[in-house]
Amino acid sequence: MGLEYRNVTKQFLTNDGTVLTAVNQVSFHIAEGEFVSVVGPSGCGKSTILSMTAGLYQPTTGEVLLNGELVTAPNSKVGFMLQKDLLLPWRNIITNIEFGLEARGVSKAERRERALSELKHCHLAGFENHYPYQLSGGMRQRAALARTLAIDPAIVLLDEPFSALDAQTKMLLQNSFASTIKETAKTTLLITHDLSEAVLMSDRILVLSERPGTVIAEIKVDLPHRERPLERRKLAEVNDYAAELFQLLKLEEKAA
Ligand code: ADP
Ligand code: MG
């Protein structure tokens, strides 16, 4: 069933009392197990779309449906991972991964079992007793993914998870996230401003306009190796797709 947006508009009341339309009449459908990226200019409403999917905000008009059910509040069907890992510094990795399960009242034994399994999935076996400060930035992001997956969500939301990493770590993480997500067969929505990353990781890409964000194009990425971006990167077509996205976005250099 996946995720469906039906004519979703989101308006905010700003501090000076004016109405700001962040997202305008957005409709799309993401099939179960599909990996879709959203690209668009800064401030066009990408994070707002994730927040509405997570039930943190309600649309002003329109509907967000997850597996056919209206999203009306935060719920355990949605795993949300941000750019910052938000690991708790006083907890070791395994108890960080267990955190979301504790909040849901899962028994101690089951928590440990699920956390260990996700740790393995995310290539962090052996690091369960380390503390966040003992891990590299890339490993911390993998731990954050493990924590997101541990609640077994129906959909995984990723908001620019690699944007704070150096170029090489980013390549490694794209690869490791892609293989983990393919294994778990999770429906995934990735927000990124990195057009190549969108091409490397996705089945499909939604292109948003400037604010108020609306879907101006949908690109199906017809390339193999979604589970291995490092492999997909070798294909010349990757650049063609990225160039097409660039053109659609009509990106321009702007004065500060
Ligand atoms: P993006 O992630 O694409 O950069 P956002 O979704 O964060 O953009 O924001 C879209 C627009 O909505 C921005 O102009 C932002 O300032 C505004 N906005 C986001 N959240 C709020 C809020 N809670 N209250 C008021 N304005 C908001
Ligand atoms: Mg954002």
Give the distance (Å) from ligand 2 centre to CA of residue 246.
Answer: 18
Distance CA 124, CA 104 (A): 24
Owner of token pair 């996700």 = 118
- CA atoms 117, 118, 124, 130: torsion sign: negative
Write out pLDDT tens, residues 205-240.
999 999 999 999 999 999 999 999 999 999 999 999
The CATH number of whichever domain residue 19 belongs to comes to 3.40.50.300
Write out pLDDT tens, residues 17-32.
999 999 999 999 999 9
Asked if the structure places residue 73 within a domain, the reply is yes
Mean pLDDT computed over every residue of the chain: 94
Where helices occur in 106-193 by DSSP H, the ranges are 108-121, 137-150, 167-184
Query: What is the reported pLDDT for 256?
Result: 64
Pocket of ligand 1 (CB under 6 A): 12, 14, 20, 22, 40, 42-48, 211
Give the distance (Å) from ligand 1 centre to CA of residue 250.
Answer: 21
Q: pLDDT band for position 108 (50/70/90)?
A: very high
Asked if the structure places residue 119 within a domain, the reply is no
Average the pLDDT over each of 6-20, 174-188, 240-254 and give the range with the smallest value.
Answer: 240-254
Across the chain, which distance is largest between two alpha carbons, in Å? 56
Asked if the structure places residue 43 within a domain, the reply is yes
Overall average pLDDT of the 6-23 stretch:
96
Nearest to 162 by CA among 194, 136, 132: 194
**Pairing state of beta strands 19-30 and 215-220?**
unpaired
Asked if the structure places residue 196 within a domain, the reply is yes
Distance CA 65, CA 71 (A): 6
Q: Which two tokens stand for residue 177?
A: 């996230």
Range of the domain at 159: 1-77+155-163+185-239
Provide, for the chain, the percentages of residues in helix, strand and coil under a 3-state DSSP scheme, each rounded to the nearest 5: 35, 25, 40
Asked if the structure places residue 223 within a domain, the reply is yes
Give the distance (Å) from ligand 2 centre to CA of residue 194.
Answer: 13
- If one counts the domains in the chain, the total is 1
Asked if the structure places residue 55 within a domain, the reply is yes
